Amino acid sequence: METGNNISDFHIAPLDAASFKMLYQCYAKKMYRICYRELQEEELCADIIHNVFLSVWERRETLIMDNPEAFLIHAVKIQILKFFRDNASRKSHLQNSLQDYSEADTSTLQAIYFNNLSERVYLLVDKLPPQCRRIYLMRDQEGLNNTEIATELGISVSAVKQQIGLALSFLRKNIVREV
């Protein structure tokens, strides 16, 4: 499309409605082709072209365009880059959200498995012979070492070790059956 004589006058502010219409008619199709080549989405391209011209119209009182074609093409390219940046940011946020959700889901499952395992261990501990159960609980719940348990119960350290070994062997064997 051949440009009219008035196109060179766009550098003069303010831009009136007739000049704006001529600007649109002269450059909208070219801007759309540039945009479509990058984005391949008709509606998105139409929105970008609309937004560029809306911005020009809103700034018509103060906007000076010495080279309207270069100005408008540059504006479209900036909007395309902005779209890619925003889209990448949205994808990144979505990925982070999904990862956070996945980690929360995993930690919830781990907590459920841990609670289930703990419950089974306590049920099995209740099945231990009384002396063996007492020694095991003193070590695991009260945090006492073998010497402290032996001193408190008045038995040898080797007897404590033997009872702990029996308790652990019983728990390992029976936990595996229940899993």
pLDDT band at 105 (very low <50, low <70, confident <90, very high): low
What is the average pLDDT score of the chain?
Answer: 82
- Threshold 0.75, pTM exceeds: no
Q: Using CA atoms, how far apart are residues 163 and 177, in angstroms rounded to an integer?
A: 21
Q: For 20-78, what is each residue's pLDDT tens digit?
A: 899 999 999 999 999 999 889 899 999 999 999 999 998 888 888 888 898 999 999 99
For CA atoms 40, 43, 44, 50, the dihedral sign is: positive
Domains of the chain plus CATH, in order, are 5-87 (1.10.1740.10), 107-178 (1.10.10.10)
The answer to whether residue 11 scores a pLDDT higher than 80 is no
Mean pLDDT of 91-106: 66
The answer to whether residue 99 scores a pLDDT higher than 90 is no
Q: Using CA atoms, how far apart are residues 100 and 106, in angstroms rounded to an integer?
A: 10
